[in-house]
Amino acid sequence: MAVIGIDLGTTNSLACVCQNGKPVLIPNPLGQVLTPSVVSMDEDGRILVGSVAKERLISHPEASAASFKRYMGTNRVFMLAGQEFTPQELSSFVLRQLKEDAERFLKEEVTEAVISVPAYFNDHQRYATKEAGRLAGLHVERLVNEPSAAALAASRISGEEEGSYLIFDFGGGTLDVSVVDYFDNVIEIIAVSGDNRLGGDDFDEIIARRFCSLQQMNYDDLDSFQRYSLLRLAEDCKRKLTGQNEAELLWESEDKRITLTNVELAELCQGIFDRISQVISAALRDSGRTAGDPCQVVLAGGSSKMPVISFYLQTFFKRKPCIIASPDEVVAMGAGIYAGIKERQEDIQDLVLTDICPFTLGTDVVNRSDTDNPILSPIIERNSILPCSKTQYYTNSYNGQSHISIGIFQGEAYYCRDNIKLGAIEMDILPLPAGQAHIEVCFSYDINGILEVEVTDHDKKQIRKKVLTSDCFRMSESEFNTRLEALQTYKLMPPGGIRTRLVLARGERLFAQLLGPRRQLAADAIQKLQETLLTQNDQQIINCLNTTQEIFDQLEGL
């Protein structure tokens, strides 16, 4: 059975398979390789994924959800038609859709996948991603960092034998920057940096807030319908600015409009560029490189296609960034190639992709100036090559201490309270004078992101071990099976009806957005299509679908 690679994105998701050493993107039932990462629940309880669900964000906001990847690994709950879902459960619907698309394309069962994640995803977020895969019926042994996947694809596509990349991976909800060297079939990740709450969605919101400001409206006072509608229009405006220098945002329900240029957008988004600069500078600093060092700046992620982004990077690096493959697709292609490596396909089995630890891992030690506020003692520092194992030695802090608690933390902050606590190991020790105990702490972190901590008390000759798996967010096996059984009762839309459902959903969205004669045109087109569907005449339905799409294109000015 084939192993597939999946780019589970904030905005769009893709699936890819490696065939004859080359990545092949898998189309969805609409013939497209990009599937919007949006989930909606239909009136009959059926789950809609992709373009249909995206259309329903405006017409049925109470039954639809998007951008849930930003909340992976948290306790955030989304409501769909009055029912609660976690981010990983919503992600599992997207993964299930991609799995079904792959099985239809490959004509065989698919049970295993390699999923790409932002390099700066922490342990909780990575575990939640694996859990989403399990809920979708996929075995996910390996996660690959998105910029690592992009570097793998870029090295294969370029055909160059050696060189250096700076991968600028800017998606809908996350930014990752990686410095990568490649030589002798080895792709070596040198340093990574990122921001898990920065992406193209932030540009949409800035455009929407600009519109509200110029129209004397308060963005924060908008209801869900108004906000989704305005953000959709802002996204369309942003996309138009990718191919032209000026675009108009028209909110027809209020008969209000603004015109925006790329220069104006760049001025509005200076705060975003400052955050981007911090991420790039951190990656360069950790890698020992400078902006002037020779390396190709490779674009990945759909948001990197924006002219304002290209211009900013050109200004920062004093050279143009390059597009080796479509930024929307390059991460999925790399994940597909890695899936091929995992299958040990002959054409690529000699490729080696090294990865690194994106966050520092350490333990807590006593803060002499504030004993209630322990500080972090790093054991495995960020950008350490995986797999890795490192040991530090500690001792007792006061006379007669008979118990120690080895806290396990992930993060870069000085104080442990500002980092993520992954767990702790408790151990009784001999009550010796302060500084006399001999405690050895070993952290081992593997390529799959599994951390094993071993604490050895050399005085009592005892050892304690713990494997860290995000216990605070992890369901028990019985809880998981119960939730899996519940999710399996939700059926996805059959591929044969997706195009029709998409056109109807688009019509419902336009009816909600438009006013006057144009709204009536949308209503008439919907009614005509529904009447034609009752005939069950395939050719008449196809003709009507084509005509209806043309009408909707005209109404949206496409």
Q: Which two tokens stand for residue 366?
A: 């006593």
Burial code (b: 16+ CB inside 10 Å, e: under 16) for 272-311 equals: bbeebeebbebbbebbebeeeeebbbbbbbbbbbbebbbe
Hey, what are 257's tokens?
């409009």
Q: Does domain 358-473 bear CATH number 2.60.34.10?
A: yes
List, in sequence order, every residue forming a beta bridge with 132; answer none if it has no partner. none
- The Cα–Cα gap between 420 and 549 comes to 49
Q: Is the separation of the CB atoms in 247 and 241 below 8 Å?
A: yes
Domain boundaries, the chain: 3-198+275-355, 358-473, 495-555
pLDDT tens by residue, 70-129: 899 888 999 999 999 999 999 999 999 999 999 999 999 999 999 999 887 888 888 899
| CATH topology assigned to domain 3-198+275-355 | Nucleotidyltransferase; domain 5 (3.30.420)
Q: What is the end-to-end Cα distance of the chain in Å, rounded?
A: 42
- Residue 474 pLDDT: 64
Statement: residue 363 has pLDDT above 90: yes
Which residues are within 8 A (CB) of 12 and not within 5 positions of it... i.e. 6 or more apart? 34, 35, 36, 37, 172, 302, 328
Sort 98 into a burial class: Cβ within 10 Å, 0-12 / 13-18 / 19+.
buried
Q: CA 355, 361, 365: angle at the middle one, nearest 5?
A: 165
- Give residue 473's pLDDT band: very low, low, confident or very high (50, 70, 90): low
What pLDDT, in 10s, does the model give residues 49-61?
Answer: 999 999 999 889 9
Calpha distance 189→178 (Å, rounded): 7
Q: Does residue 471 register a pLDDT over 60? A: no
- Band (pLDDT 50/70/90 cuts) for residue 477 is confident
> CA 307, CA 305: separation in Å to the nearest integer?
6
Instruction: Choose among 450, 349, 452, 449: nearest CA to 144.
Output: 449
Question: Cα separation of 142 and 265, whole Å?
Answer: 39
Residue 108 corresponds to which tokens in the numbers above? 């065989």
Taken as a whole, the chain contains a residue count of 558
225 vs 27 pLDDT, higher one:
27
Q: Tell me: pLDDT of 456 over 60.
A: yes
pLDDT exceeds cutoff 90 at 419:
yes
User: What tens digit of pLDDT does each residue of 123-160 get?
Assistant: 888 889 999 999 999 999 889 988 889 988 988 888 77
The runs of H, that is alpha helices, within 222-324 are: 224-243, 262-268, 270-287, 307-317
With beta carbons less than 8 A apart as the criterion, state whether 6 and 14 touch: yes
Mean pLDDT of the chain: 91
Phi-psi region of 136 (alpha: psi -120 to 50; beta: other; left: phi over 0): alpha
Cis peptide bond N-terminal to 387, omega within 30: yes
Positive or negative: CA dihedral 464, 356, 9, 265:
positive
| Extended strands (E) in 50-147 | 64-66, 78-80, 83-85, 112-117, 143-145
pLDDT band at residue 346 using 50, 70 and 90 as cut-offs? low
Q: H or E element: which one contains 52?
A: helix 51-59
Amino acid at 98: L
Compute CA distances 468 → 71, 87, 114, 144, 388, whole Å: 21, 21, 21, 19, 15
For the segment 13-29, what is each residue's pLDDT rounded down to a tens digit? 999 999 988 899 999 99
